[in-house]
Amino acid sequence: MRRILMILALSLAAPAHADGGVTVKLPDANRIAAAASPDFLMRLVMANVAGMNCPGYALSDGEWALITGTADRVAAALQIGSGAYDEQYYGPAFAALDNPATCGREGPKIAPLISELRAMGGGTEPIG
């Protein structure tokens, strides 16, 4: 069991690499583990979906890497498989875009979430 926890902790400390080639520092592994909850994961997924689809709330590559990398680590900490991750989190987040009020409600939450992730030890500046 200790070995599994060590492997999880090491994987949680790894930087995130965005599709555009941006690698950023993710929040501290212990802080991610402490914050890991279905609600926190949904906040991260909604920020990703809103930031990629809502005018006026576009994410930079570094912000996207920080949000998605952290979300992936939270999903791993919660032991959520890829099918459940898509069905229970991304499906509802994309479905929320059908409501015209979603961008106005979720977009303003992105900057405070990024600040929270920075306070946890993450960053949006490219590294490596």
Q: Where are the domains of the chain?
A: 2-119
For residue 21, the model assigns a pLDDT of: 67
40 Cβ contact list (under 8 Å, min separation 6): 74
Radius of gyration of the chain (CA): 14
Local structure of residue 23 (DSSP, 8 states): E
* 94 in Cβ contact with 49 (< 8 Å): yes
* 44 in Cβ contact with 113 (< 8 Å): yes
Q: What is the mean pLDDT of each run of 10 residues along the chain (128 residues)?
A: 35 46 92 96 98 97 97 97 96 97 98 98 93
For residue 20, the model assigns a pLDDT of: 55
The pTM score is 0.84
- What is the Cα–Cα distance from 53 to 123, expressed in whole angstroms? 22
